[in-house]
Structure 1
Amino acid sequence: MTHQTVRGTKDLLFDEWHKFEYIQQTANRISNLYGFLPVQTPIFEYTEVFTKTLGDSSDIINKEMYTFCDKGGKNITLRPEFTAAVVRLLIEKKLQTPIKLFSTGPAFRYERPQKGRQRQFHQINFEVFGIEDPKADVELISLAWHLLTEFGINRNVRLEINSLGDGETITKYREALVLYFKKYQNDLSEDSQNRLIKNPLRILDSKDEKDRLIISNAPKISNDYTKESSSFFEQILNGLTTLSIPYTVNNKLVRGLDYYCHTVFEFVTENLGAQGAVFAGGRYDNLVSSVGGKHTPAIGFAGGIERIMELINYLPKEERSTYLIPIGREAEEYALILANELRRNGLYVSYEYSGTVKNRMKKANQANAKAALIFGDEELSNKTLKVRNMDTGEEKIVACDNIIDLLHNQFMARNF
Structure 2
Amino acid sequence: MKLKGVRGAPDLLPQETARWQRVETATRFLLQRYGYAEIRTPVFERTELFVRGIGEGTDIVEKEMYTFIDQGEVNLTLRPEGTAPVARAYLEHQMAAQFPLVKLYYLGPMFRRERPQSGRYRQFHQIGVEAIGSDQPAVDAEVIDLLWALMVEEFRIPDLQLRLNSIGDAACRPTIRDRLRRYMTDRSSALCPDCQGRLTRNPLRIMDCKQPGCQHLVAEAPKPLESLCEACAAHFTEVRGLLDHLKIPYTIDERLVRGLEYYTKTAFEVINPRLGAQNALAGGGRYDGLIEVVGGPSTPAMGFAVGIERVIASLPSAEEEDVLRGIYVATLGREAQRAGMGLLQELRRRGMRGLMNLEARSLKSQMRQANKERVRYCLILGDEELGRGQATLRDMMKADQTSVELVHIVERLMGLEGV
Do they fold alike, i.e. is TM over 0.5?
A: yes
TM norm structure 2? 0.90
Who is 2:224 aligned against? 221
- Distance change in 2, residues 1:228/1:371 (3 Å): same
1:272 is aligned, of 269, 272, 275, to 275
Who is 1:162 aligned against? 165
Who is 1:407 aligned against? 413
* Kept in 1: contact 2:165–2:225 (CA 8 A): no
Shift of 1:334: 4.2
Mapped partners of 2:284, 2:205: distance in 1: 15
Mapped partners of 2:365, 2:156: distance in 1: 45
Shift of 1:274: 1.3
Matches of residues 51-90 of structure 1 in structure 2 within 5 Å? 51-90=51-90
Mapped partners of 2:202, 2:418: distance in 1: 65
**1:191 and 2:194 correspond:** yes
**1:343 and 2:348 correspond:** yes
The code of the aligned residue for 1:404 comes to: V
* Kept in 2: contact 1:68–1:75 (CA 8 A): yes
Q: Secondary structure at the match of 2:254?
A: coil
Q: Secondary structure at the match of 1:52?
A: helix
Mapped partners of 1:206, 1:350: distance in 2: 55
Aligned Cα RMSD in Å? Answer: 2.3
Q: Secondary structure at the match of 2:41?
A: coil
2:210 is aligned, of 207, 212, 220, to 207
Q: Identity percentage over the alignment? A: 36
* Kept in 2: contact 1:165–1:261 (CA 8 A): yes
Number of residue pairs the alignment of both structures matches: 408
Who is 1:122 aligned against? 125
Superimposed CA distance per residue, residues 346-398 of structure 1 (whole angstroms, 9 cap, x where no aligned partner): 33131352245566567657766623242426735x7x343434543321332
Who is 2:330 aligned against? 324
Mapped partners of 1:303, 1:362: distance in 2: 39
- Distance change in 2, residues 1:153/1:112 (3 Å): farther
Mapped partners of 1:69, 1:10: distance in 2: 25
Q: Which moved more, 1:371-380 or 1:307-316?
A: 371-380
Mapped partners of 1:6, 1:213: distance in 2: 37
Q: Which moved more, 1:13-22 or 1:2-11?
A: 2-11
Mapped partners of 2:394, 2:158: distance in 1: 42
Shift of 1:181: 1.4
**1:112 and 2:115 correspond:** yes
The code of the aligned residue for 1:131 comes to: S
Mapped partners of 2:109, 2:305: distance in 1: 12
Mapped partners of 1:18, 1:362: distance in 2: 21
**1:173 and 2:181 correspond:** no
**1:309 and 2:316 correspond:** no
- Distance change in 2, residues 1:413/1:266 (3 Å): closer
Where does structure 2 lack aligned partners over 5 or more consecutive residues?
none
Who is 2:26 aligned against? 26
Mapped partners of 2:65, 2:241: distance in 1: 38
**1:386 and 2:394 correspond:** no
2:150 is aligned, of 147, 150, 154, to 147
The code of the aligned residue for 1:227 comes to: E
Mapped partners of 2:167, 2:368: distance in 1: 66
Mapped partners of 1:396, 1:159: distance in 2: 54
Where does structure 1 lack aligned partners over 5 or more consecutive residues?
none
1:133 is aligned, of 133, 136, 140, to 136
Q: Secondary structure at the match of 1:207?
A: coil
- Distance change in 2, residues 1:358/1:184 (3 Å): closer
- Distance change in 2, residues 1:240/1:362 (3 Å): closer
The code of the aligned residue for 1:398 comes to: L
Superimposed CA distance per residue, residues 223-244 of structure 1 (whole angstroms, 9 cap, x where no aligned partner): 2211111111111111111122
TM norm structure 1? 0.91
**1:182 and 2:185 correspond:** yes
Mapped partners of 1:154, 1:365: distance in 2: 29
